[in-house]
């Protein structure tokens, strides 16, 4: 029996796929089709696939050409599959000509004619309505945001708002956007806003944008109080809008896997989460300016509290803060959050340097994410018995903002109003801890 194998994503299955599968089948007696897993596609930068792996497998089966469907989940798997299944022919569309010649060592490689004029990319573009995004604030992060939207289907930045006309114009010229220094005309031009203005203005901008019927992606810290965060989510729910806190680590693939692995018990019961983030900055800068909401807590608490809240929850017993102050801002803060059966510590610096790693300690072992853990692309699970240790590698593409943008657009387009990656309750819990800090009840000044 002559065995043929072919691979693909098969998103929004189209005539090109059907022709390819028919041609592949005609090369032998038995056709194996490898369909990429969702995580494999994400890992190789294909972020916009519309059908999930189960839907894509069903679509391939429904063509009637596949005798067996397998899942492709890692680089190098093709060589394993060809040997494991005793494959005689590897077939793929001519858009890949030459790219799989390395498989000739294992079987015959055939590049089949590709059907012109149709592709999943094209179908996705036709299906997708474009979400027009306006950026509020034109600082450092906004400059990184615009290029990242260009790799996400369905997202288009069209306008920028800055109350300073010169600043708005300067930013707009760099990216060919429409500049605004008046807020209402700016909102009229867009479907959604990305708030990247100074911290103290986030709440007000988010509230105005939501009231005007616009979806909101808001930089961290979304608000500095639990009450304000709750109010914003309430308005969003009443208006049927998406409100998402741009806590970028929450959306990055490797961090998602850290959370699911720990939740599934690989380190046993979690007893301690220890996490740090420090970025030492030189004055004069917003991070060291009390009037602009500077300080380690406002700057870094949202990202660092995320693993604690995700893994240990909101039902903590108490929170203590220890801060080193300079010119009215905390240049270093240590937060200790105690739970009935676990503890955690979070260290943050804008004027003190620490190792920026994440350690999740459990009764069986610990999960270690080296610095900079918030740009997670690699982590390890370590045990007393070193032979059981495991290392995990991921890609962290571009500036990493594409993952949150993709989730934001997907929520808007698919009319999904919550994200398990950054839940409303988690965002509120983080804002509450920041609020407790500013109230100063359990604060020790060093």
Q: Which of 86, 76, 78, 98 is nearest to 28 (CA)?
A: 86
| Shorter beta-carbon distance to ligand CTP: residue 40 or 366 | 40
- Closer to ligand CTP by CB, 44 or 416: give it: 44
In contact, 371 and 301? CB cutoff 8 Å = no
Least distance CB 105 / ligand CTP (angstroms): 20
Nearer to ligand CTP, 92 or 172 (CB): 92
- Interface with ligand CTP (CB under 6 A), residue from 3, 4, 5, 8: 8
DSSP single-letter state for residue 296: H
Task: Check residue 33 for interaction with ligand CTP (CB under 6 A).
Answer: no
Does 278 bind ligand CTP (CB under 6 A)? Our answer is no
Judge contact between 382 and 128, C-beta under 8 A: no
Mark the segment that binds ligand CTP (CB under 6 A) among 6-14, 60-68, 269-277, 335-343: 6-14
Can residue 93 be called a binding residue for ligand CTP (CB under 6 A)? yes
- How do strand 215-219 and strand 192-195 relate by DSSP bridges? parallel
Residue number closest to ligand CTP, CB atom? 93
Instruction: Select from 92, 306, 337, 409 the one that contacts ligand CTP (CB under 6 A).
Output: 92
Q: Which is nearer to ligand CTP, 117 or 284 (CB)?
A: 117
CB of 342 to ligand CTP, least distance (A): 43
Closer CB to ligand CTP, 61 or 442, in the complex:
61
Residue 146 vs residues 82, 183, 221, 244, 427: alpha-carbon distances, Å: 42, 20, 20, 18, 24
- Told to check if 16 binds ligand CTP by CB under 6 A, we report yes
> Scanning the structure block, which residue is given the tokens 């961290």?
220
Task: Check binding of 42 to ligand CTP (CB under 6 A).
Answer: no
Q: Report the half-sphere exposure of 364 (CA within 13 A, side-chain side).
A: 12
Instruction: Kindly tell me which of 96 and 183 has the beta carbon lying closer to ligand CTP.
Output: 96
Structure tokens at 256: 């998602």
Q: How far apart are alpha carbons 287 and 228 in whole angstroms?
A: 22
The residue from 80, 95, 188, 425 that contacts ligand CTP (CB under 6 A) is 95
Question: In sequence order, what are the beta bridge partners of 179?
Answer: 160
Give every CB contact of residue 40 below 8 A, 6+ residues apart in sequence. 72, 73, 74
**If you write DSSP's letter for every residue of 377-391 in order, what string do you get?**
SEEEEEESSGGG-EE
Q: How far is the CB of 9 from ligand CTP (least distance, A)?
A: 4
Residue for token pair 């804002």: 431
Two structure tokens written together for 241: 């809008």
Q: Check residue 9 for interaction with ligand CTP (CB under 6 A).
A: yes
Angle between helices 424-439 and 296-312 (to 10 degrees): 130
Site for ligand CTP in 104-123 (CB under 6 A): 114-115, 118-121
Binding residues for ligand CTP, rule: CB under 6 A, are 8-11, 16-17, 20, 92-93, 95-96, 114-115, 118-121
């Amino acid at each position: 029996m002559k065995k043929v194998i072919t691979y693909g994503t098969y998103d929004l299955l189209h005539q090109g796929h059907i022709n390819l599968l028919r041609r592949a089948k005609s090369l032998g007696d038995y056709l194996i089709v490898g369909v990429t897993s969702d995580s494999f596609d994400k890992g190789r930068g294909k972020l916009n696939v519309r059908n999930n792996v189960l839907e894509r497998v069903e679509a391939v089966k429904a063509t009637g050409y596949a005798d067996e469907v397998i899942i492709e989940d890692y680089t190098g798997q093709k060589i394993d599959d060809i040997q494991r299944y005793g494959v005689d022919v590897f077939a793929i569309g001519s858009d890949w000509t030459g790219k799989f010649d390395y498989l000739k060592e294992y079987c015959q490689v055939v590049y089949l004619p590709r059907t012109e004029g149709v592709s999943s990319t094209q179908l996705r573009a036709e299906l997708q309505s474009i979400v027009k995004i306006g950026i509020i604030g034109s600082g450092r992060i906004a400059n990184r945001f615009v290029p990242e939207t260009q790799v996400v289907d369905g997202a288009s930045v069209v306008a920028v708002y800055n109350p300073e006309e010169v600043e708005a114009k300067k930013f707009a010229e760099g990216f060919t956007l429409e500049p605004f220094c008046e807020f209402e005309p700016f909102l009229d031009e867009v479907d959604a806003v990305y708030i990247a203005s100074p911290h103290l203005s986030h709440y007000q901008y988010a509230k105005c944008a939501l009231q005007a019927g616009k979806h909101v992606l808001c930089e961290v810290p979304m608000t500095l109080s639990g009450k304000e965060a709750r109010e914003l989510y309430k308005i969003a729910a009443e208006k049927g809008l998406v409100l998402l806190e741009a806590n970028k680590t929450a959306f990055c693939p490797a961090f998602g896997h850290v959370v699911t692995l720990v939740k599934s018990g690989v380190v046993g019961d979690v007893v301690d989460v220890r996490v740090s983030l420090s970025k030492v900055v030189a004055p004069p800068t917003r991070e060291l300016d009390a009037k602009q909401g500077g300080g380690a807590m406002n700057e870094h608490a949202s990202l660092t509290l995320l693993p604690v809240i995700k893994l240990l929850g909101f039902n903590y017993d108490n929170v203590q803060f220890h801060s080193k102050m300079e010119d009215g801002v905390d240049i270093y803060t240590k937060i200790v959050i105690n739970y009935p059966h676990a503890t955690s510590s979070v260290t943050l610096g804008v004027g003190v340097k620490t190792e920026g790693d994440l350690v999740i300690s459990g009764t069986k072992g610990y999960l270690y994410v080296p610095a900079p853990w918030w740009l997670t692309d690699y982590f390890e699970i370590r045990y007393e018995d070193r032979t059981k240790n495991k290392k995990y590698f991921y890609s962290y593409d571009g500036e990493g903002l594409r993952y949150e943008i993709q989730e934001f657009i997907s929520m808007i387009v698919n009319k999904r109003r919550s994200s398990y990656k950054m839940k409303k309750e988690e965002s509120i819990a983080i804002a509450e801890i920041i609020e407790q800090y500013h109230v100063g009840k359990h604060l020790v000044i060093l």
